Amino acid sequence: MTRSMEEIRKECPFPIGEENTMFAQYFSKKSYTEVLSGGPLGIVNVTFEPDCRNNWHIHHGAGQVLLCTAGEGLYQEWGKEPVALKPGDVVNIPAEVKHWHGATPGSWFSHVAIAVPGEGTGCEWLEPSAE
């Protein structure tokens, strides 16, 4: 369902955190991050304002799992149609697959992102996904 930032704060069990300035260059609009765990698994709660998407990107070496917690989101793999995301949805993003995720144009969206551990992993940021 369409959600405002205040509704996301109530609906999402995890803190919204601070504005994501470190990776802002790879996001089309504002996003917010709260690190839930630094190890042994890197777990971050990511919240997107409406219509915010990250750039196309690739997780090399090991993938990422998204646990959707609030609002309405989108996920797209290269060469496929975008998939709608709602709270409770889980996305297993395989390593080496070019993709993006973010909020729908009309709603805020939150997901927990869990990095799959592996040797020599890293994220390769590519071109914007927004038209």
Query: How far, in Å, CA of 3 to CA of 87, rounded?
Result: 11
Nearest distance in Å: CB 54, its own copies: 21
Contacting residue, 63, 75, 104, 113, with its own copies by CB under 8 A: 63
Interface size with its own copies, residues (CB under 8 A):
26
Q: 63 or 102: whose CB is closer to its own copies?
A: 63
Contacting residue, 58, 67, 97, 126, with its own copies by CB under 8 A: 67
Query: How far, in Å, CA of 104 to CA of 97, rounded?
Result: 21
- The amino acid sitting at 123 is C
19-38 residues in contact with its own copies (CB under 8 A) are 36-37
Contacting residue, 6, 25, 92, 120, with its own copies by CB under 8 A: 92
